[in-house]
Chains A and B, each alone.
Chain A
Amino acid sequence: MHHKRTSQWTQQLVFVGPALIFFALIIVVPFILGLYYSFTDWNGVSGEVAWVGLDNYKQILTNDTVFRDSFWFTTKFTVLGVILTNVLGFTLAYFLTKKLKSRNFLRTVFFMPNVIGGLLLGFIWQFIFVKGFAAIGDVTGIPFFNLPWLGTENTAFWAIVIVFVWQTAGYLMVIYISSLNNVPKDILEAAEIDGASRGQVLRSIIIPLIMPAATVCLFLAISWSFKMFDLNLSLTKGGPFGSTESVAMNIYNEAFSKNRYGLGTAKAIIFFIIVAVITTLQVKLTKSKEVEA
Chain B
Amino acid sequence: MDITKNSRTGLAITEIIMLLVALLFLVPFYFLFVNSVKSFGDLLTNAASLPKSIEWGNYARAFEITKFPTAFINSFVITVVSNVLLVLVSAMAAYRMVRQNTAFNRILFVIFVAAMVVPFQSIMIPLVKVTSTVGLMNSIPGLVVCYLGFGIPMSVFLLHGFVKSIPLEIEEAATVDGTNTYGVFFRIVLPLMKPMLVTVFILNALWIWNDYLLPSLMLQSPELRTIPIATFAFFGQYTKQWDLALPALVMGVLPIIIFFLMMQKYIIEGITQGAVKG
Contacts and interface: CB of A to CB of B under 8 A. Distances in A.
B121 A116 contact: no
Interface in B97-127: 97, 100, 105, 108, 112, 115, 117-127
Interface string A281-293: 0000000000000
A107 B261 CA distance: 12
Nearest to B254: A116
Contacts of A115: 206, 210, 256-257, 259-260, 267
Interface residues of B, number: 90
Given A34-B126, A276-B117, 7 more contacts: A16-B97, A25-B149, A27-B123, A100-B11, A131-B44, A131-B47, A174-B272
Contacts of A138: 46, 48
B249 interface: yes
A79 interface: no
A37 B115 contact: no
A132 B31 contact: yes
Q: On chain A, which size bracket covers the interface?
A: 35 or more
Nearest to B264: A108
A33 B22 CA distance: 48
A123 B249 contact: yes
Contact of B126 (A12, A37, A120, A251): A37
Contacts of B27: 128, 132
Given A15-B92, A120-B249, A174-B272, A109 B26 contact: yes
Contacts of B31: 124, 127-128, 131-132
Contacts, number: 262
Contact of B213 (A16, A223, A229, A265): A229
Interface of A: 8, 11-12, 14-16, 18-20, 22-23, 25-27, 29-31, 33-34, 37, 44, 92, 95-96, 98-102, 105-113, 115-120, 123-125, 127-128, 131-132, 134-136, 138-139, 166, 171, 174-175, 178, 213, 216-217, 219-220, 223, 226-227, 229-230, 233-234, 247-248, 251-252, 255-256, 261, 264-265, 268-269, 271-272, 275-276, 279-280
